[in-house]
Chain A
Amino acid sequence: SQTIHQWPATLVQPVGSPLSLECTVEGTSNPNLYWYRQAAGRGLQLLFYSVGIGQISSEVPQNLSASRPQDRQFILSSKKLLLSDSGFYLCAWSVLGRGSRHNEQFFGPGTRLTVL
């Protein structure tokens, strides 16, 4: 069966510090991978998605970047955190391809980031 891991679970960082959140998927190959942010009282906002190693698409301009160094590893980074980067970060995966079954996304447990 497929599983998705995120770490750390919680993180408190000062403004201006760097960030690295990691997401790994097990039990599947060539997944689509996604990073979302969920701010308090807001819906999920897609930040980045990737259809393959080294292929990253950004949905919104921001202070963050993403990388996919391996097929099942997705990393969210920042060089200098802002207060507005606080939120709940979710990684998700889906089966590569088209059709209604293929675009079901499976979410990880999330990382709660607080920037002080």
Chain B
Amino acid sequence: KNQVEQSPQSLIILEGKNCTLQCNYTVSPFSNLRWYKQDTGRGPVSLTIMTFSENTKSNGRYTATLDADTKQSSLHITASQLSDSASYICVVSASQAGTALIFGKGTTLSVSS
């Protein structure tokens, strides 16, 4: 069964600290993996996308890694800011047209001052 599991479910950190969010997946075949950021009450916005051959991708203070052998991905946030408070969703795409997306339940990150 295609699944995407994220951990932790929620996380609280102090402003300026770093954190790492985890994503494990059992999706086959595999096309790509995306991390989305979803602010409360808003739609998700894509942060990064990685295909099978890519093992790291950065977007500002966000760095995603992918280990296709172990089927694990992580999202590292550096020097966190209050605006990073959001839900971070890992989404894996099977090798089909756009309907074959498997969503994780997300990690809720709270950054406090």
Q: Mind listing 18 A-B residue pairs with CB under 8 Å?
A: A32-B98, A34-B99, A42-B105, A43-B4, A43-B89, A43-B104, A44-B44, A44-B89, A45-B103, A59-B99, A92-B43, A103-B96, A104-B34, A104-B46, A104-B98, A107-B45, A109-B42, A110-B42
Task: Tell me whether B98 and A105 are in contact (CB under 8 A).
Answer: yes
Determine if A20 is an interface residue (Cβ-Cβ < 8 Å): no
- Supposing A41-B105, A43-B105 touch, asked if A108 and B99 sit within 8 A by C-beta, the answer is no
Asked if A97 CB lies within 8 Å of chain B CBs, one says yes
Which residues of chain A in 28-47 are interfacial with respect to chain B, using CB atoms and an 8 Å cutoff?
32, 34, 41-46
Complex CA–CA separation, A47 to B98 (angstroms): 14
Residues of B within 8 A of A94 (CB): 98
Instruction: Please report the total number of A residues contacting B with Cβ < 8 Å.
Output: 30
Q: How distant is the Cα of A107 from the Cα of B101 in the complex, in angstroms?
A: 13
The reply to whether B41 and A110 contact each other, CB–CB distance below 8 Å, is yes
In chain B, positions 56-85 with a C-beta closer than 8 Å to chain A are none
Asked if B32 CB lies within 8 Å of chain A CBs, one says: yes
Q: Which residues of B come within 8 Å of A, CB atoms?
A: 4, 31-32, 34, 41-46, 49, 51, 89, 93, 96-101, 103-106
What distance in Å separates the Cβ of B42 from its nearest Cβ neighbour in chain A? 6
Q: How far is the CA of A45 from the CA of B104 in the complex (A)?
A: 10
> Which residues of chain A are near B96, meaning CB under 8 Å?
98, 103
> Counting chain A CB atoms within 10 Å of each CB, which of B31, B98, B103 scores highest?
B98
Digitize A77-108: 1 where CB-to-B-CB distance is under 8 Å, 0 elsewhere: 00000000000101010110110101111111
Q: Please list the residues of chain A having a beta carbon within 8 angstroms of any beta carbon in chain B.
A: 32, 34, 41-46, 49, 51, 57, 59, 88, 90, 92, 94-95, 97-98, 100, 102-110, 112
With A32-B99, A49-B99 as contacts: A104 and B49 at CB distance below 8 Å:
yes
Chain A residues contacting B101 (CB-CB under 8 Å) are: 46, 103, 105
Candidates A41, A43, A102, A109; contact of B97 at CB < 8 Å: A102
**Apart from the given pairs A100-B31, A100-B51, 14 other A-B contacts in the complex at a CB distance below 8 Å:** A32-B99, A43-B4, A43-B89, A44-B44, A45-B103, A88-B41, A95-B98, A98-B97, A100-B93, A103-B93, A104-B49, A109-B42, A110-B41, A110-B43
